[in-house]
Chains A and B, each alone.
Chain A
Amino acid sequence: MAVKAEILSNQQVSKRYFHLKVKVPNKQLFPVQAGQFFHIKCSDDAKPLLRRPLSIFRINEEECTLEFLYLVKGVGTKALAQRKPPEMLDILGPLGKGFSLKEESENILVVARGVGIATLSALAFKAKSKNISCFAIISARAKEDYLVEAELKEAGVEAIFVNDEDGTSDPQRVKLLAEALIKEKRIDGIYTCGSRRLSVLMKQVACEHQLFAEIALEENMGCGIGSCYGCVCQIEEEERIRPVRICLEGPVFPLEKVVFA
C-alpha cells in the first residue's frame, strides 16, 4: 500500500548523488528486506507522471525510518532532489524480492558499481547482524563518486575502491581482485549490482568457483507491482529462456539464471 512518509532529510552527498531519509507513520510496512525497493511519487504535481523505483539503502524498523541513496539523472530524480523536510512523500512498498543470505554463510563479497552500492549496503548491514563478514569491491567513474564510505565502515565492510579515472576499474583487474578475495577470505557468496559488465564478469567468476551469487537488477518501471510488464529480464530456467517481471520476481535474481543481452 502507498503511504505518506515524512521527509526527515534529503541532502546532496556528492556531485551526482542524494541521500533521502523518511519516517513512515507506523510499523505496518515492515519487515523491509535488503534488495527490496520502494516506488516513489517524486512530486505531488501531475508531472513527473510515473513513480520512480529506489532500492532501500538503510532500514530502521525501531525508529520507522527508511533511507535511500539516488543518482540525480532525469526529471523524476531531479524533482525528488527538490523535496525538503518536513514535506510528505508518497511511497509504495516494500516491493519485490530481496537478497538471500545462506544460513551457513561466513564471508560474502559484494561487487558494486555507482549507485548499486545503495542496495548492497543494506545487505552489508544485514550480514553484520548475522555475524557474516562482508568484503567489497566498489567501482565508480571517479574518486568523487565514491559513496557511503562511512556507512560501509559502520557495517564493518572491508572495501576496495576502484575508479575509471585512475584506470583501476577495468574488468580484468577487478576479476583478479575478486579471485584474490575469494581465495584469501574464503568467500562463500557473491552479490552484485550496478554494472552489466561487472555482472557478466561475476557470473563467470561465480561459475568458475562454484559460488552462490545474486544480482539486483535495475530497469525502467511503470507500475512496480507487476501490472504493466514494462520491466523484464530474461531468465534461463529448466532449459528455457523466459521473460520475467523484475518488479515482481526480482529485482534480486540468482546470477546464474540471468541472461545478459
Chain B
Amino acid sequence: MSGLEVTLGNLHLKNPLMPASGTFAEQMTNYIDVNQIGAIIPKSITKHRRTGNPTPRICETKAGGMINSIGIQSEGLTYFKEKTVPFYASFSTPFIASVSAESMEEFAEVCEELGEMADVDAIELNISCPNLKNNGLAFGMDPSVTYELVTRVRNVTNKPLIPKLSPNVTSITEIARACEAAGADILTVSNTFLAMSIDVHSRKPKISNIMGGYSGPAILPLVVRMVYQVYQATSLPIIGCGGVMTGEDAIELMLAGASAVQIGTASFVDPEAMITIREEMEAYMKLHGIKEIEEIIGGVLVHQA
C-alpha cells in the first residue's frame, strides 16, 4: 500500500518514518530492510573523534522510559565521510547526517564539508544534546544563539537544514521561530529531556554522568504538546521525535502537526519496530479511509463538537 509519501521542503520521503539520531547504526541493516523506511539518520558526528562518557550510560526508569548519557561517541568527520556515508549510499533511502559540535565555527566547518557530498541529502543540527556540557546546557536553549548558529551554517551550505530542538527550554516556539528566521528548512521536535535517576539503595545516580536525556513512551504527551505548539508558531515542516512506540503514536504526532516521525527507543526494544509501526500506520489509514497520509498532518480537531 502506498499513500505514505510525505514531502518536507525539498525532501521527498516514501514514508514518514526514520530513526532518531543515536538509535541507528550499521548493524541495523541486518535487522530491517532500510529501503522500507523514509530516511536514514545515523548517530551525530563531531569534527574530531570523541570517546563519549563513562558507563553506566543507560538506565531504565519506572514510568516507561530510559535515561541515556552516551556523550556522542564519534569516530570523527574523516571516518564519517570515508566510511559511513559510502556505506549508506548503497540504499535508495535518503540520507540525513546529524551534526554536533562544540562551537559555532565547528558546526559551520563540518556542515560545509558534508554539504559538498552528493550522498548527503540533508543535515540535522544537533543543537540540543543534553550530554555535552555541564547540567545539560546546549546551543538550542537561547533564541539569539540558535539564530546565529543556524545563520552561520545556512551561509555555507544549500542542503536542507534541520535543527533538532531542545525540550529543555521555557518556550520552544521562540527557538523554532529563531530557526525559521535564520533559514532552517525543517525542524525536529525534539531531543531528549534532561533527567536524573538515583538508586536509593546505593544512593548513587544511576548513570555515571549524573544527568542524561529521558526518552521512551513516557514522554510522548510532552512531545505531542511541543509539536502542536511549534506547528502553530512556524510554517516549517516538523519531524516529531519522542516516545513513539506504535503506529497510533506516530499518527498522534502527525495529527499534532508532524510531517514525519522519528523512532528511537522503540528500536532498542525491537530492532524491527520501524517496520511494524509502518504497518500499523497503514492499518490506521485503511480503518479511516485515508488515501494520503499527508491529509492528516496538523489535523487534530480542537474546539469541535
Interface residues of A (CB under 8 A from B): 1-2, 41, 46-51, 74-76, 92, 219-223, 225-233, 242-243, 248, 261
Chain A contacts of B267 at CB under 8 A? 223, 227
Report the Cα distance A248→B26, complex, angstroms.
11
A46 and B55 in contact (CB under 8 A), knowing A228-B22, A229-B73? no
Beta-carbon contact of A75 and B62 below 8 Å: yes
Q: In this assembly, does B87 line the interface, its C-beta being within 8 Å of a C-beta of chain A? A: no
Report the Cα distance A107→B176, complex, angstroms.
65
Pick from B52, B57, B217 the residue with the most CB of A within 10 Å. B57
Partner of B56, one of A1, A219, A228, A243: A219
Partner of A225, one of B27, B68, B216, B217: B27
Beta-carbon contact of A49 and B43 below 8 Å: no
Known: A49-B65, A225-B31. 5 other contacts (CB 8 A): A41-B269, A75-B60, A220-B59, A243-B73, A248-B27
- Secondary structure of the B side of the interface? loop
Beta-carbon contact of A229 and B70 below 8 Å: yes
Chain A contacts of B58 at CB under 8 A? 50, 220-222, 228, 230-231
Chain A contacts of B65 at CB under 8 A? 49
What does the 1/0 interface line of B19-39 toward A look like (CB < 8 Å)? 000111111101100000000
Report the Cα distance A14→B253, complex, angstroms.
48
Partner of B269, one of A50, A220, A243: A50
Chain B contacts of A76 at CB under 8 A? 60
Chain B contacts of A74 at CB under 8 A? 60
Number of interface residues of B (CB under 8 A): 36
Report the Cα distance A48→B63, complex, angstroms.
9
Interface residues of B (CB under 8 A from A): 22-28, 30-31, 43, 51-52, 54-60, 62, 64-66, 68, 70, 73, 216-217, 245, 265, 267-272
Please give the distance in Å from A187's CB to the nearest CB on chain B. 31
Beta-carbon contact of B64 and A47 below 8 Å: yes
Chain A contacts of B217 at CB under 8 A? 46, 49
Report the Cα distance A92→B31, complex, angstroms.
11
Report the Cα distance A220→B207, complex, angstroms.
10
Chain B contacts of A219 at CB under 8 A? 55-56
A225 and B54 in contact (CB under 8 A), knowing A47-B64, A220-B59? no
Beta-carbon contact of B51 and A231 below 8 Å: no
Please give the distance in Å from B58's CB to the nearest CB on chain A. 4
Beta-carbon contact of B64 and A242 below 8 Å: no
Please give the distance in Å from A215's CB to the nearest CB on chain B. 15
Report the Cα distance A101→B272, complex, angstroms.
34
Report the Cα distance A105→B301, complex, angstroms.
71
Report the Cα distance A11→B62, complex, angstroms.
26
Q: Closest B-chain residue to A261, C-beta based? A: B54
Report the Cα distance A51→B266, complex, angstroms.
11
Between A and B, 13 residue pairs with Cβ closer than 8 Å are: A46-B245, A49-B66, A49-B217, A50-B268, A76-B60, A227-B25, A227-B271, A228-B58, A229-B43, A229-B73, A230-B55, A233-B55, A261-B54
Chain B contacts of A226 at CB under 8 A? 25-27
Beta-carbon contact of A232 and B271 below 8 Å: no
Chain B contacts of A49 at CB under 8 A? 60, 64-66, 216-217, 265, 269
Report the Cα distance A243→B51, complex, angstroms.
6
Beta-carbon contact of A220 and B55 below 8 Å: yes
Report the Cα distance A248→B267, complex, angstroms.
16
Report the Cα distance A48→B23, complex, angstroms.
19
Chain A contacts of B216 at CB under 8 A? 49
Report the Cα distance A228→B70, complex, angstroms.
8
Please give the distance in Å from A244's CB to the nearest CB on chain B. 10
Partner of A232, one of B28, B31, B55, B268: B55
Report the Cα distance A136→B202, complex, angstroms.
31
Chain B contacts of A223 at CB under 8 A? 23, 267-268, 271
Chain A contacts of B22 at CB under 8 A? 228-229
Q: Closest A-chain residue to B49, C-beta based? A: A242
Chain A contacts of B68 at CB under 8 A? 222, 228, 230
Report the Cα distance A6→B24, complex, angstroms.
30
Chain A contacts of B245 at CB under 8 A? 46
Q: Closest A-chain residue to B264, C-beta based? A: A228
Pick from A74, A75, A92, A223 the residue with the most CB of B within 10 Å. A223
Chain A contacts of B55 at CB under 8 A? 219-220, 230-233
A232 and B272 in contact (CB under 8 A), knowing A49-B64, A75-B62, A227-B27? no
A222 and B73 in contact (CB under 8 A), knowing A49-B265, A227-B28, A231-B55? no
Beta-carbon contact of A227 and B268 below 8 Å: yes
Chain A contacts of B265 at CB under 8 A? 49
Chain B contacts of A261 at CB under 8 A? 54
